A and B are shown apart, each in its own frame.
Chain A
Amino acid sequence: MKYKIVALLHDRPGVLNRVGGVFRRRNINIDSVIVVKTSQPNVSKMMLEVDADRVDLVVNQLEKLIDVFEVQSYSELDSEEKLSTINWCQADGVA
């Protein structure tokens, strides 16, 4: 199933590696990814798309990373309305 994952990250070296590793270990391909700065210092926002099963497990693992402040995932089954709340241009917040 296709998922969109939005996360707030600590903006420092190596964080993308930590996050990417969680997907790599489970053999999940990251279809697309964007990382942008937010208005909060040292906080960046990442948005990525994957096509995988049990993304809940990945989200749980992401939440354990201390460089990840907040994670939100949206599946293609979510309502149009919910999906439309993901603002890919607005840098602040996970929704």
Chain B
Amino acid sequence: MSVDKTIEMTGAQLLCETLVRNGVDVMFGIPGGTVMPFYHAMFEYRDRLRHILCRHEQGAGHAAEGYARVTGRIGVCIGTSGPGSTNLVTAIADAWMDSTPILAITGQVMGHLIGTDAFQETDITGITLPITKHNYLVRRAEDIPAVVTEAICLALDGRTGPVHVDITKDAQQERCVADFGVIDEIRVQAKGHSQASARQCGYSIYKSLQSHATYSTNKPSSTPTSPSDLKREYADKDNNPWSSISEMLSDAEKPLIMAGNGVIMSEASGELLELAELLDIPVTTTLHGLGSFPQSHRLSLGMPGMHGWVHVNKAIQECDVLLCVGARFEDRVTGKVSTFAPNAKVIHIDIDKSELNKLVKAAIAVKCDARIALRELIKASAGRKRNKRDQWHDKIALIKREQLPRQAYMNRNRTSSLMPHDVYDGFNELFTQCDNYRVVTDVGQHQMWAAQLIHWSKPKTHITSGGAGTMGFSVPAAMGIAVAYPQDTVWVICGDGGFQMMNQELATMKQENITNVKIAIVNNGYLGMVRQWQELFEGKRYSNTPLSSPDFSMLAKAYGAVGIVVEDKTQVAGALSCALEYDGVVVIDFRVEQEANVFPMVPQGSSIGAMITGKESKVMESQYERNDETQNKVYPKESEVFHEV
């Protein structure tokens, strides 16, 4: 490394070298005027840095997200200045909402042109400011190693998330003496920080790394952060909350665990299972938590929230202690938050302090990594005497037995020869026979059906755009996953609307020889979820939701993939196994019943105790109101549509 210090390099070469030294080996992007020096240098690094040439920067961003979500490593996406960088914005926002660690690198116009409305100039750091953990505008080549290294460390630390680095073209062209010592320095500090403080303190260490990232020549001699920043912080000011949490859980009559993305990100599924079994507590997993707890397990309940099962939402409303790990009480989970879990003492464990007591007031709130927290809880709970839970389990089981058959597609009402649930039955059948699968869903009805109906059993097999709800996410994200795990079969389940937003990435897959992506389009000829809302709440006024599509099988063929059309239930299994066996991208067009709905459903703004369980059903009366605010008056408008369950 000492040799390197004497080498003069361009900023672009420094950038490549820095990425390689930080363990990056694949990037997704599109070249353009202001990143041309970077792409010029990248050519020398093509044996170490694989670049996937996408067709749209948003696709590059989602691909980086997919890569990061399954590997836990940094996903890198690249765009040029102006439109190239604004096209990345949706993907960055998506990563921000779902805490996905990506590094967005964009080119910027020459330093002297910034602020002059130069060709393809956009104030992109101004735009990404509220949707990144941090962003940087780099104007000097010599700052690149430190800034990029810090950006990567920052993206991956604490609550992971997107970081954006905007680099002027002249900084990429400028030659300077390479100093890579700073890379190791930052990485050692970041690593030391992660280990020493056990990932419990967010990313405060980066405040002490500022000196590396500042553009000022006047570097501070001492770190401005006090060591007290690194001490464990518990909202209840209790230095050891574990025994009191364990006691609460053990003594509870009706406890419940809610697990979210945090459990998957910190790879704590084993610990979650151990704790649930140890204390005999049922587990519900949020949309992003799906897969963190095997759904075949007797303690598994399924997904809560707007499209959660009735027994799950009822369990939440009835439980007396709710342990929430790595989830953040989004409105799609809580419904009307003032009525959420009214009987429960909430214990909230999250790596991000700002999530604690943000929406739901916690009896005990702990800022901690999920795996560390669960391990501590297992330790604190071992040998502890606990309450009997049989009645609680029986009660949930009874609601499940009563409600499940009433829930629309569970009773197999057939209105056409191919219903959406036939497709999911096919997947469940398929997944019992193969092991190496990942499922990426898009956004809409098919996403909720997948979340409800597929038997999730392993972490990182369910990848979706949850927080931002970005239609078009699935196809490019699957491409990123396919690059990360070429031996896995990556299944895309998407709608006809979402597929058409990002299907151009099929061309990327062809060019890059990515063959392990199989796409199942649940094609109902509508922007289905919006249509469902229009049907239920807006008197069936289908304003701009009917959607015409090209012949997807022919489109697939045009992209060098194989297209299959399925119009009958009997063809589902055959089509799926055919797609699995074929060595190449396959697009299956499942032409399903057009007006099938996702049930159960909690109307927006209602308590999760008030659910619509089917087209013919009434909103189940919520008995859980804890204040006398009138129920949402808008929904449902057409009360005659519903009848008493």
Contact = CB atoms under 8 A, between A and B. Distances in A.
Contacts of B604: none
Interface in A44-63: 56-57, 60-61, 63
A41 B353 contact: no
A36 to B, nearest CB: 15
Interface string B346-388: 0000001110011000000000000000000000000000000
Given A42-B216, A60-B358, 4 more contacts: A42-B218, A60-B354, A61-B354, A66-B210
Contacts of A40: 220, 222, 224
Given A41-B220, A69-B224, A10 B130 contact: no
Contacts of A63: 353-354
B632 interface: no
Contacts of B220: 40-43
7 contacts: A12-B214, A41-B218, A57-B354, A57-B358, A60-B358, A61-B354, A69-B225
Nearest to A22: B130
B540 interface: no
B221 A14 contact: no
Nearest to A65: B134
Choose among A14, A40, A61, A66 the residue with the greatest number of B CB atoms under 10 Å from its CB.
A66
A12 B215 contact: yes
A18 to B, nearest CB: 6
Interface in A27-84: 40-43, 56-57, 60-61, 63-70
B217 to A, nearest CB: 11
Nearest to B158: A64
A64 B218 contact: no
Interface string B134-166: 100100000000000000001000000000000
Interface string B184-224: 00000000000000000011001100110011101111101
B503 interface: no
Contacts of B210: 10, 42, 66-67
A21 B129 contact: yes
Top 4 A-B residue pairs of the complex, sorted by shortest distance between their CB atoms = A60-B354, A42-B220, A41-B220, A66-B206
Contacts, number: 64
Contacts of A85: none
B224 A8 contact: yes
B129 A66 contact: no
B212 to A, nearest CB: 12
Contacts of B243: none
Interface string B442-453: 000000000000
Range class of the A interface residue count: 20 to 34
A25 B130 contact: yes
B354 A42 contact: no
B99 to A, nearest CB: 12
Interface of A: 8, 10, 12-14, 17-18, 21, 25, 40-43, 56-57, 60-61, 63-70
Nearest to A11: B216
Nearest to A42: B220
B125 interface: yes
Given A41-B218, A41-B220, A61-B354, A69 B207 contact: yes
B126 interface: yes
A14 B216 CA distance: 13
Contacts of A18: 129
Contacts of A61: 354
B353 A21 contact: no
Contacts of B225: 69
A82 B206 CA distance: 30
B194 to A, nearest CB: 16
A66 B354 contact: no
Contacts of A13: 215
Nearest to A25: B130
A43 B225 CA distance: 11
A12 B332 CA distance: 39
A22 to B, nearest CB: 8
A25 to B, nearest CB: 6
B214 A10 contact: yes
Interface string B494-516: 00000000000000000000000
A56 B354 CA distance: 9
Choose among B206, B210, B352 the residue with the greatest number of A CB atoms under 10 Å from its CB.
B210
Nearest to B233: A63
B129 A64 contact: no
Interface string B315-356: 000000000000000000000000000000000000011100
Interface in B480-530: none
Nearest to A62: B354
B300 to A, nearest CB: 33
Contacts of B211: 42
B497 to A, nearest CB: 29
A89 B86 CA distance: 42
Contacts of A65: 134
Contacts of B126: 17
Contacts of B130: 21, 25
